[in-house]
Chain A
């Protein structure tokens, strides 16, 4: 029994989500191998080799793999899939893009977003926006799984696995990468941040969102998040959205400002260690999950908080 983890990386380094996925892989039992499929990704492969508990790193390098196109990455995984009992992806945008493609080609089900490994074939996963937890058992020969990174600790570093080079697959010719607009920011990534400050519709405009929330994020060294209402209203970019259909986060500290706390938002942040809610509506559902609730106008309270930190 050997588990393959598909690394999330940017060719130069390994993303944090890979470390959580390795921890889930170790819980499945057996050896853990990591696949780094990329272009000029030697540094990422070397970084993967340092994850404690990893027995082997497989490195496939080709221009066809540069941008993680689903068709090509899935084919690369399928080329070695027969060697593995479990194939694990982090439940990130790229993991979710590729994993079902691999599962369908193997004619097996996929188990999405696991939060706990009960045994080698049995897992827990949230359904209905986290309002229920299903314990599910696979009956398939190969298990294709995506891992909710907040459910597992990051694997430690300090390993020294061997790196083996694989033949890279050819380009499918079906899809082509044209470009991307990735916001450059010095802030921590939302899903890896220790502290997140998040704003809701009460901010009222993107100018106010920026004016009120940014100083707090700067002061705390925090990532910025937003509710779907704030994103829909155009106050914050879509990739800041925390919730059922956005990012699932579990930081040490989550500060929700002007967020009422719809179930879809709570689904994305209720596993945070400490939750602070600042809201002027005493009936806001967010107070039902907050460790510390402050009933106040955020336009006064947040700047005061920045001043006192």
Chain B
């Protein structure tokens, strides 16, 4: 079973982004970039499937600018066998990414695609579900446990109020939630090894995909600032303020 793991290069989760003064977007010049945290969990899950003998090969794929190669090297340092970059300077929206990954999936005849549930930059939470729709395959989103048994996947999902377990036939699309696993620490020897692994590059045109954006961003602004209130000296004052000033307690 070949497993495909799409990974996205995003602004590191510790960086507090700043909105550009001309309102065209956020300033990402000279900002630390990392692999989307949910995608790291996806790579880890795929590598564990290989270690258990359930997957034969783990292929990382990224869509975007040339430096996405670094993100793919990180995926290979975690344990992916090889990588594919679909390289384009164009802005890629989730529908376009889903189409590109569908094309790679077909090319590679992958049986399972594991993706992060959401990228922490655009916060869309769409690509996995869109890929499942385009490929007409079952999906198991927000996974906190994945078991492969008899050519089927049994997936426990994080839903509102608790957990849900579903069985899906393979091939299938799975998206990861935070508790699925804790990604391993990448070691220096593995980083060195990853540099020698195979990385192929394609253009969207070679995959026959039109990546033109469907949504126009008219402007990007700062959210309304919430000003800090006051510090209260003790619990009694707090209760008094909540009752008589904020009037949120009966």
Contacts and interface: CB of A to CB of B under 8 A. Distances in A.
B192 interface: no
B124 A110 contact: yes
Contacts of B201: none
A9 B55 CA distance: 38
Contact of B178 (A97, A128, A181, A228): A228
Interface stretch (A18-26, A169-177, A206-214): A169-177
A244 B123 CA distance: 8
Contact of A294 (B140, B177, B235, B249): B235
B249 to A, nearest CB: 7
B160 A93 contact: yes
A273 B248 contact: yes
A293 to B, nearest CB: 5
B121 interface: yes
A288 B134 CA distance: 45
Given A109-B95, A175-B168, A129 B120 contact: yes
Contacts of A105: 133
Contacts of B229: 275, 290-293
A199 interface: no
Nearest to A107: B95
A104 B214 contact: no
Contacts of A301: 235
A253 interface: yes
Given A138-B214, A238-B179, A245-B178, A182 B161 contact: yes
B111 interface: no
Interface residues of A, number: 90
B129 A109 contact: no
Interface residues of B, number: 79
A232 B182 CA distance: 10
Nearest to A185: B161
B206 interface: no
Nearest to A108: B214
B228 A287 contact: yes
Contacts of B133: 74, 100-105
A304 B123 contact: no
B76 to A, nearest CB: 25
Interface string B2-32: 0000000001010011010000001000000
Contacts of A263: 16
Given A253-B248, A292-B230, A133 B166 contact: no
A135 interface: yes
B162 A239 contact: yes
Contact of B166 (A69, A93, A140, A305): A69
Contacts of B13: 264
A191 interface: yes
B52 interface: no
B93 interface: yes
A39 B194 CA distance: 51
B168 A174 contact: yes
Interface in A188-209: 189, 191, 195
B188 interface: no
B129 A292 contact: no
A111 B249 CA distance: 37
B95 to A, nearest CB: 5
B170 to A, nearest CB: 10
A113 interface: yes
B232 A292 contact: yes
A160 interface: no
5 contacts: A104-B134, A112-B126, A127-B121, A175-B166, A253-B246
Interface of A: 67, 69-71, 74, 92-94, 96-105, 107-113, 122, 126-140, 172-183, 189, 191, 195, 220, 228, 231-232, 237-239, 244-245, 247, 252-253, 263-264, 270, 273-276, 287-296, 301, 304-305, 308-309
Given A290-B228, A292-B238, 11 more contacts: A104-B95, A108-B214, A122-B218, A128-B121, A131-B19, A137-B216, A182-B163, A191-B160, A274-B248, A276-B238, A294-B231
